[in-house]
Each structure stands twice: as C-alpha cells, then as structure tokens.
Amino acid sequence: MNTVSNQAVREQNEAGLAPLRVLLLDDDVFMLDVLSDMLEQMGPFDIRCESHSEQALATLKQHQPDLLICDLSMPDIDGIEFLRMAADNGFRGGVVLLSGLHSAVRLAAERLAVANGLHILGTFRKPMESAELQLMVNLQLQHTARLASVQA
C-alpha cells in the first residue's frame, strides 16, 4: 500500500475533517464493488455507488462528493454527457475517468471534461490499480486541503 496516501487519509481524520465523499459511477456492479473495497482498505470514506447515470446525477446533487470516479462507457447516458451535465450542475470536485476504450477516446473525454470546467485528476484504463486509486485520493485530499486553507 502507498504510505503517502494512507498518511494523508490518517491526517485528514486526525484533523477532525469529515471523510472524503466519493461517488463511484460504473454500469459494471463488480467494478463498483472492487473500487469500493479498494477505497475501504485505504481508510474511512463516505462512498456512494451508482450503476445508472440518471441516478448518479441525483446522487451528485444530494451527496455533493469531493471525488467522482466515472466510467466513460455507460448504457443510458455516456460518461462524456454525464460529465457535461455534472459541470452544468456546478460539480467542482475532483474527477477520475475510467474506461476500457482506446487511449485516444480517454484523452478526448479528458479534454472535453476540462473544457467544461471540471477538475480532472487522472484518466485510467480499466481495471484501475490500487496504487493508481491511492494516488488519485491523495491528489484530491491535497486539493481539498488547499481549498480549505484558501477559504480560512
């Protein structure tokens, strides 16, 4: 396990900060379980899992996650359209894109998301490795800490 990420999660908890809120969106329920299990091994998180884009939009509004981990290939609303709608709804958390699609598609989706004003932490081929997830969590924790210090 990545000690830096685990340390960041521990420091957040020791500082009395609420656990990082995470929304996982993937139509593959097995992938949701894998990602959720990997996060739970890193520390306490407030995790919501959605397998349908429509429901994920409602959860995005209600849950207001700090981190969105989103599959690009979805049956109801594809990931690119979902990200556009998330941006239109004011989502300002970190975004991690996942896809089994070609790297050119992942790169194009990343560029579109950035153009829509989203904060992209990284884009990865499925399945995501635990070390990659730990790095993304650490980046989001650092970003959240910077925002909190600016607002203080």
- Residue-wise pLDDT for 59-90, tens only, equals 999 999 999 999 999 888 888 899 999 999 99
Q: Within a domain: residue 66?
A: yes
Q: Within a domain: residue 40?
A: yes
* 113-133 pLDDT, tens digit each: 999 999 999 999 999 999 999
CA distance 6 to 18: 16
pTM of the model: 0.86
- Domain residues for the domain of 85 are 19-149
What is the dihedral angle through the alpha carbons of 145, 150, 151, 152, rounded to the nearest 10 degrees?
Answer: 90
Domain count, the chain: 1
Q: What are 72's two structure tokens? A: 């690009």
Nearest 5°: phi and psi at 9? -65, -45
Nearest 5°: phi and psi at 77? -125, 125
Query: Looking at the predicted structure, is the pLDDT value of residue 10 above 80?
Result: no
Query: What CATH number should be reported for the domain holding residue 97?
Result: 3.40.50.2300
Q: Within a domain: residue 127?
A: yes
Q: Within a domain: residue 3?
A: no
Give the chain's length: 152
What mean pLDDT is predicted for residues 109-115? 94
* 18-37 pLDDT, tens digit each: 789 999 999 999 999 999 99
Q: Within a domain: residue 96?
A: yes
Contact status, residue 95 vs residue 103, Cβ threshold 8 Å: no
pLDDT of 13 reads 47
Q: Within a domain: residue 7?
A: no
pLDDT of 5 reads 45
Q: Within a domain: residue 14?
A: no
